[in-house]
Chain A
Amino acid sequence: MSGSGSRLSFWIRTAQALLLAVAVCFSLGAADASARMDNLGHRLMCTCGCVQLLGECDHAGCPSRGEEMAELATGIQTGEADKDILNAFAAKYGATVLAAPRTEGFDLVAWIAPFAVFAAALLGTILLVRRWSGVAGMESRAVVRTQASQLNPEEQERRARIRRDTDTDGGL
């Protein structure tokens, strides 16, 4: 086997070993039992007007937090799905009780737009750079052809050697 082939297989084996190690580690461990209450508490707003998440509302004597937390606990105890609990809250307190837009109707636009913009910008940038690099490549090739035709073989060899010697990357 050639040197480059054995190096390639080494890297493939290393990557496989890393992925296996990660998969094993992912499968270990246990979760916190009250995670659902905590999770939903951070997806709802406190309705007292403090503009805080329900799970983070921190003022003693809050007129809303206790009632909302009790409703949340009841929903979880009766086995309702997260979506149903959130819908019940929205029906009772209005859409502003949800800490984030829903993933349906017009609210879905809130979620899609950022990723759509990012994807469009990313694609546009890649296409633009490829187009520009094509233009730059043609320009530099034209310059090189013009210059090369005016150089003698010795000079061409000297330039090639310098290019090889100074092919250091990095640096601003």
Chain B
Amino acid sequence: MATFGSFALLIALALAAYNLLAGAVALRLIATGQPARISPERLADTARRAGIAGFYAVTAAAFALVWSVFANDFSITYIVEHSNRALPGPYKFAALWSGQEGSLLLWAWLLGTYGFVLRLRHKTDVKLYAYAGAILAGVQVFFLLILNFAAPPFSIVKGGIPADGNGLNPLLQYPEMVIHPPMLYLGYVGFTVPFAFALGALMMRYPGEKWIHITRTWTMVTWLFLTCGIFLGMHWAYAVLGWGGYWGWDPVENASFMPWLTGTAFLHSVMMQERRGMMKSWNVWLIFSTFLLTLLGTLLTRAGLVSSVHAFAQSSIGTWFMVFMGIVLAVCIFTYIYQRGHLKTEHHFESLVSRESSFLFNNLVLLTACFIILWGTLFPILSEYVEGTKVTVGAPFYNRVAIPIGLFLLFLTGVGPLLPWRATSFKSVQRNFVIPVIALWATVIVCLVAGVKPWANGEFSSGSFFSLVAFSVGAGVLTAILSEFLRGAAVISKQTGRNLASAMVLLTRRNTRRYGGYIVHIGLVIVVAGLAGAAFNRNVESEMGVHDQMHIGPYTLVCTGFTQDSNANYDSEYALLDVKRDGKTLFQMTPEKRAYHLGGGDQPQTMVAIHSVPGWDLYVVYEGTNPDTGQPIVKAFLNPLVSWIWAGVLVMVLGTFVALAPSINPATAALRAPAPRAVTTEAVLKGGHS
């Protein structure tokens, strides 16, 4: 199977190279109109077919690796390093992306899959798709070069074949690791498609904004995958790492967040190009930057440039990524300079207070946030270069610098949709903003009364202050969005006689993009409220013997005993804790400590017990035994509003699906609307309807 996989990768490389070269030659011939022995259109079609065949070849290679994992083929180095016989089936599948070579193969396979779908849909616009297909092939050539020469997944072990493998990193043996990395990679890789369309459209001086319409679905789907990937990663960190948090501003976490920020900026600013022919250069560079940031993220992950808890993926292929990023940047700059005349704006801003300006400020804030994260991630390298000493840029830095920017962005989330296009008047500002501002200040007062106080005993607490701002601005934004829904629904209700809820559904279906976007914003507000809850986290840690008690918030945890279990993969020890409230036993929690049998030794891993209710999470970690006293140690956290984060993400996903759905035509909607009540002769005579 190793030989089969290696050949499949070589064939895939040859096909991708042919796709790139033949595609480029064909498009050049078409552009210049030079006579050629072969029809350029036919040549371009052979390039496209090579791209499709390349997908099958990469699929065969990925299949070969997965098959080898399941077959315990320990003649392959990758399988020895990332699997063992005792590994459960789903995690054997996850072994595909748990190491360097496998994850690069996954990247190449996903890129091949995106390219496959794109090439099948080429009739939408043959020429533009040919350009995009050739650019995708160029990116694919890079990944296949690495897979064939720098990080081959099918390299054979030297010496004798071991009887068993080293097994999978225990941190990765968690259900979410089966879906989190593929989701994240679908997001990372997916941004190659809008990048390819943007670069292709610029190269061919594509007339109009149709390429944006074509790529909109691709961009939104990609953004959705990246969003889900990031939040699944957060949930994994929360449930597995056992420190009670979900985001540690680790460089690799940051690397996934940066393209999300620029991608989000692109999704917003592209609307200005669609509607008003503005911001063309800006949009092109946003999507270029997003693609480059996905590569930078991978570079940070692989090259070990910065310290990270994701050290399992470090290697020496960073140079490959740096060179490739340099080439991509050079191509982007050259194409932009050569074709920038094609990107002239059709309209200018007419007012500082308008929908267009709000998009611009939204972009400004998103890009500033991206810069802050990039700056914080790379500052240790800069500091070492300038001063000779490395510094740590951790959570305290980001919390102070990035959170205010984030709150400003939240504010714009509410303001933007209330502003009309082109220009606005003081009257309309007054009309649209009064209720949200009242909601904001009412929330400030409610929060202060409820105990969310930035000052206590003369000391300022930035966490409480930011939470207060987040709750209040969130309430204002939520009110603004809901009032938009209600305003539109009221008009429809009046027109069609439907009730308000039904009118709201019809309103959303008539303009899925707009109202889907609003639903995403509602989800974001819920997420921010959940994040703001972190300022009030509490924790308590103590040694606990049988019958010992621990108090946290309204709960009392009583240790009733310890038990053990064992299987081929790991031994585990559970603490049995009865959770009581007001003297009444509510439920039992069983935090677990595992010892995985890996590489001939045992690797410890905690399995957190979480009891989640809308108000908070009771989060209990069994940390093992104190080496000095031999007593078990239990740590409990009471984390407010964490479940809001996951609920908010679901709302964001729902909103994205709504935005992706096609809008119904108002004419069709009218036909589907319930028929008006019959007009009686009496009513007509009275001059109205009965």
Contact assessment for B349 and A136 in the assembled complex, using a CB-CB cutoff below 8 Å = yes
- From B352, B372, B424, give the contact of A129 (CB < 8 A): B352
For B371, the chain A residues whose CB sits under 8 A away are 114, 117
A-B contact count (CB 8 A): 179
What 1/0 mask marks residues of chain A from 39 to 55 whose CB sits below 8 Å from any chain B CB? 00011010000111100
- From A21, A97, A133, give the contact of B349 (CB < 8 A): A133
With A45-B394, A52-B243, A59-B623: A132-B444 Cβ-Cβ less than 8 Å: no
With A51-B309, A101-B383: A26-B392 Cβ-Cβ less than 8 Å: no
Q: Tell yes or no: B549 within 8 A of A by CB.
A: no
| Closest partner residue, chain B, to A167 (CB atom) | B425
Contact assessment for A125 and B364 in the assembled complex, using a CB-CB cutoff below 8 Å = yes
For B396, the chain A residues whose CB sits under 8 A away are 42-43, 99-100
For B454, the chain A residues whose CB sits under 8 A away are 26
For A121, the chain B residues whose CB sits under 8 A away are 364, 367-368
Contact assessment for A133 and B389 in the assembled complex, using a CB-CB cutoff below 8 Å = no
With A51-B307, A118-B368, A172-B271: A139-B428 Cβ-Cβ less than 8 Å: no
Contact assessment for B456 and A60 in the assembled complex, using a CB-CB cutoff below 8 Å = no
Within 8 A of B (CB), among A149-172: 167, 169-172
Contact assessment for B349 and A129 in the assembled complex, using a CB-CB cutoff below 8 Å = yes
Contact assessment for A126 and B457 in the assembled complex, using a CB-CB cutoff below 8 Å = no
With A100-B393, A107-B383: A114-B453 Cβ-Cβ less than 8 Å: no
Q: How far is the CA of A121 from the CA of B361 in the complex (A)?
A: 9
Q: Tell yes or no: A64 within 8 A of B by CB.
A: no
Q: Tell yes or no: A96 within 8 A of B by CB.
A: yes
Contact assessment for A172 and B511 in the assembled complex, using a CB-CB cutoff below 8 Å = yes
With A28-B448, A45-B392, A169-B428: A101-B379 Cβ-Cβ less than 8 Å: yes
Contact assessment for B459 and A31 in the assembled complex, using a CB-CB cutoff below 8 Å = yes
Contact assessment for A99 and B395 in the assembled complex, using a CB-CB cutoff below 8 Å = yes
What's the minimum C-beta distance from A151 to chain B, rounded to whole angstroms?
Answer: 22
Within 8 A of A (CB), among B355-407: 355, 357, 360-361, 364, 367-368, 371-372, 375-376, 379, 383, 386-387, 389-397, 400-402, 405
Within 8 A of A (CB), among B257-299: 271, 275
Q: How far is the CA of A61 from the CA of B631 in the complex (A)?
A: 12
- The contact size tier of chain A is 35 or more
Query: Interface on chain B toward A: helix, strand, loop, or mixed SS?
Result: mixed
Contact assessment for A25 and B445 in the assembled complex, using a CB-CB cutoff below 8 Å = yes
Q: How far is the CA of A27 from the CA of B449 in the complex (A)?
A: 10
Within 8 A of A (CB), among B456-470: 456-457, 459, 461
What's the minimum C-beta distance from B189 to chain A, rounded to whole angstroms?
Answer: 27
For B245, the chain A residues whose CB sits under 8 A away are 56
With A22-B448, A25-B449, A170-B484: A101-B348 Cβ-Cβ less than 8 Å: no
How many residues on the B side are at the interface (Cβ–Cβ under 8 A)?
83
| Closest partner residue, chain B, to A107 (CB atom) | B391
For A26, the chain B residues whose CB sits under 8 A away are 448, 453-455
For A128, the chain B residues whose CB sits under 8 A away are 349
Contact assessment for A58 and B635 in the assembled complex, using a CB-CB cutoff below 8 Å = yes
Within 8 A of A (CB), among B618-639: 621, 623-627, 633, 635
Contact assessment for B250 and A51 in the assembled complex, using a CB-CB cutoff below 8 Å = yes
- From B418, B606, B621, give the contact of A170 (CB < 8 A): B418
Within 8 A of B (CB), among A90-130: 94-101, 105-107, 110-111, 113-115, 117-118, 121-122, 125-126, 128-130
Q: How far is the CA of A110 from the CA of B456 in the complex (A)?
A: 29
Contact assessment for A113 and B375 in the assembled complex, using a CB-CB cutoff below 8 Å = yes
What's the minimum C-beta distance from A128 to chain B, rounded to whole angstroms?
Answer: 8
Q: How far is the CA of A45 from the CA of B420 in the complex (A)?
A: 48
Contact assessment for B453 and A25 in the assembled complex, using a CB-CB cutoff below 8 Å = yes
Contact assessment for A95 and B448 in the assembled complex, using a CB-CB cutoff below 8 Å = no
| A-B CB proximity, top 4 nearest | A25-B448, A31-B456, A60-B624, A136-B348
Give me 23 A-to-B residue pairs in the complex whose CB atoms sit less than 8 angstroms apart, sorted by A's number: A25-B453, A28-B453, A31-B457, A45-B392, A51-B250, A53-B395, A59-B623, A59-B624, A98-B392, A101-B397, A105-B387, A106-B383, A110-B391, A110-B397, A121-B367, A121-B368, A122-B364, A133-B349, A136-B350, A167-B425, A169-B425, A169-B432, A170-B418
Instruction: List 19 other contacts, CB 8 Å, given A30-B456, A31-B459.
Output: A22-B441, A22-B444, A29-B456, A51-B307, A61-B624, A95-B391, A96-B392, A101-B393, A107-B391, A110-B379, A110-B397, A111-B397, A114-B401, A125-B364, A126-B352, A128-B349, A169-B419, A169-B424, A171-B421
User: A residues bordering B, Cβ < 8 Å?
Assistant: 18, 21-22, 25-31, 35, 42-43, 45, 50-53, 56-61, 94-101, 105-107, 110-111, 113-115, 117-118, 121-122, 125-126, 128-130, 132-133, 135-137, 139-140, 167, 169-172
